[in-house]
Amino acid sequence: MPLDDKTTAPDDVLLRAYARGEGRAAEILTARLLPRVYAHALRLLGDVTEAEDVAQDAMMRLWRTAPAWRAGEAKVTTWLYRVTANLCIDRLRRRRQVPLDGIDEPADARPSAAAQMQQRSRLAALQHGLNALPDRQRQAIVLRHMEGLSNTRIAEIMDIGPRAVESLIARGKRALVARFAGRREELGYEDDTD
């Protein structure tokens, strides 16, 4: 099957094409999957450098497993989410402490960039809150609210039941709400209509 920039072939088809030696398949898979893998790692780790290492490692494992990939089994994205999370959790366990300063500080203080700064501040505060959660709660929340996955998909990735997923998410979000309770202004909770 010829590959071009607009191919809509499923991930597993492209992966098997790569395993047969079609380099173009690797380009398409990288463009399609690497941003998601990196973003997921960044949200789980809260550190740009480590997320970069994990993303490259996860993709390398994908290339390595390509010859053995069987059609119709797990989705490539499910497999990648799982591998990425495992790599992140391994790093976090080695670290034993998630850094609170892994997010870049906004460097532009011009009035025209004020809204951008506020957004960065809010998102940095959110990441710090996520960093403070237990690994599995953070993973479940990121998969649901940032990757947009269903409980069923999350359960498959995390190898737990859907009810356990709901419980992790509920506990994690309650912890975040408690953490942000005294920081409404910082998080921009005070909107213009108040």
Using CB under 8 A, list all residues that contact another protein. Answer: 18-21, 23, 26-27, 30-31, 34-35, 38-39, 42-43, 48, 52, 55-56, 59-60, 63-64, 67, 119, 122-123, 126-127, 141, 145-148, 173, 176-177, 180-181, 187, 189
* Residue 17 Cβ vs another protein, minimum distance, rounded to whole Å: 11
Return the number of the residue (21 or 72) whose C-beta is nearest another protein. 21
Query: How would you label 149-186 residue by residue, b for 16+ Cβ within 10 Å and e otherwise?
Result: bebebbbbbbeeeeebbeebbebbbebbeebbeeeeee
In this complex, which beta carbon is closest to another protein, that of residue 39 or of residue 74? 39
Cβ atoms of residues 140 and 154 within 8 Å? yes
Q: How far apart are CA 87 and CA 79, in angstroms?
A: 12
Toward another protein, which CB reaches closer, 20 or 96? 20
121: exposed, middle or buried (Cβ count in 10 Å: 0-12, 13-18, 19+): middle
Calpha distance 135→89 (Å, rounded): 7
Which lies closer to another protein via its Cβ, residue 96 or residue 128? 128
Q: Position 118: which residue type?
A: Q
- Give 31 or 93: the residue with its C-beta nearer to another protein: 31
Q: CB 35 → another protein: shortest distance, Å?
A: 6
Closest distance to another protein from the beta carbon of 18 (Å): 7
Q: Nearest approach, Cβ of 88 to another protein (angstroms)? A: 15
Q: Measured between alpha carbons, how far is 3 from 8 in angstroms, rounded to an integer?
A: 9
Name the residue type at position 98. Answer: V
Residue 169: CB minimum distance to another protein, A: 10
Least Cβ distance, residue 96 to another protein (angstroms): 25
* Residue 145: DSSP 8-state: I
Nearer to another protein, 70 or 96 (CB): 70
Lookup: tokens for 139: 């993973």
